[in-house]
Amino acid sequence: MTKYLLLGGCGLLMLASCSSDTPEKKSPVPTSLPVTVTEPVDRDWSTIKNNGVLRMITSYSTGSYFLYKGLQVGFEYELLKKFTQENDLALEVIIPGPEESPYDLLNSGRGDIIAANYTITPERKEVVEFTRPYNIVNQMVVVSEELGFKPENVADLRNIQISVRRNSSYFVRLQELEEQGYPIKLSIIPDDMDTESALFQVAKGEYEATVADNNMFKAASKYMEELVQGPVIAESDTIAWAVRRNAPDLENQLNKFLYKHFRFNEEGEPKRSAFLNVLRRKYFESGNQIADYYNPAYQNNPYESISPYDNMIQEVAEEYDLDWVMLTAIAAQESKFNPSSVSWAGAVGIMQVMPRFSEISSDSLYIPEVNIREGAKILSSHLKHYSYMDSTNQWQFALATYNAGSGHLADARRLAIDHNDDPNSWEHVSESLLKLMQRRYYQHARYGFCRGIETVRYVNEIMNRYNTYQSILAYSNNRGSATQGVLGIQTLN
């Protein structure tokens, strides 16, 4: 449901209200959204399930996705991660580049779902299909404390310059108010500047005002005391995920999941699951992750932009001629950078080294630098073993060996040969690893049963995380963070 509020001097005027379940008429006006790929690829639920990966197009922000001490977190990320876990899928994160359109990424098949605090609007519905909503927000004007007063209604906004993106739902709403005769003084900011970045600028006094959803304002205001809440200009905006218009099965699966976590009761009031309420409190009300995200010392250190051990990992990676970003992705997968971590199998430390296979004493393996160096040494040995392969297959095989052991990989490669598949192709060998979970295959294997699905998922998740880390580093290095967000990455909401 959507309600527009006009807060004039004489009170509250309700302009429109409609049920979110009622189909909206398609606008005859051509979309002004950045869309060049108009014909979506044929990639629905069955294809995604067969591939085992759901690709999430999102923004780098607290409302969607960000790195916290090397770990992938964020409201949208955790919500969608739960969906993929329930459906036995890996989740790959796609962050649009400076010149990339999220709609084109979706329709071209590079991504499967836009999950970025998206408001359902008629213009966007011309390009994508939306799932059922999972959040309801109000749009509010936020002003700088330096103005010296708190505007109570739209009439009070006279002579206050409000800075928003042209490609945002905020711009559309402000234009509507302007057309209705309200004193709106609009200032257009770059399309790749996200709401949080605009709030930073308002808090610093660089902008007089902007517009934000109430949940984002609530989170930001805890760490930006210079923000002042102004009038609400739109009430009950519905937030949903966007999918391709020719992917009804994917949309149906997502809707069934969201129904368990968000629905309206008979009185039209939203009811949320315990899980969704936990996420809301974590990302919009409290939590160390958000406090650190807004901490200038945390955001402005580009050399600690991935993990707490970046410098140490870079030094060890250089020593063994390894890709330090890949080494970081492995550490995140293995232990979440916890040097005291111990697995059920007895692997210890950041890189989860097995003491019985190491010449290093067990106690020493709890020392971060020692453990990282030992893990790098083992990985380097695996990479040399597969040195005749192309770099992608080489890393995939090395990762699989690090996880499952060389014996199970040898079994899987022999099984690939038995099926006339390429034993040097990870695509084929990963299928053989899955077969080694079936008795008719593992009973003839030299090393027996293998939890192949764990190894395949392990490799996929590390490769996906590596690609995401690379994107974040590339954008943060190429673009200034002062006005573009914490890491200078394009955001979508």
- Residue 208 known to be catalytic: no
Any idea of the CA torsion for 158, 163, 165, 170, to the nearest 10 degrees?
-40
CB atoms within 10 A of CB 82: 17
Q: How far apart are CA 341 and CA 320, in angstroms?
A: 24
Q: In degrees, to the nearest 5, what angle opens at C-alpha 348 toward C-alphas 342 and 354?
A: 120
The single residue of 129, 196, 334, 461 carrying the catalytic annotation is 334
CB atoms within 10 A of CB 69: 17
Do residues 275 and 261 touch, judged by C-beta distance below 8 A? yes
Any idea of the CA torsion for 307, 215, 245, 86, to the nearest 10 degrees?
60
Active-site annotation, residues: 334
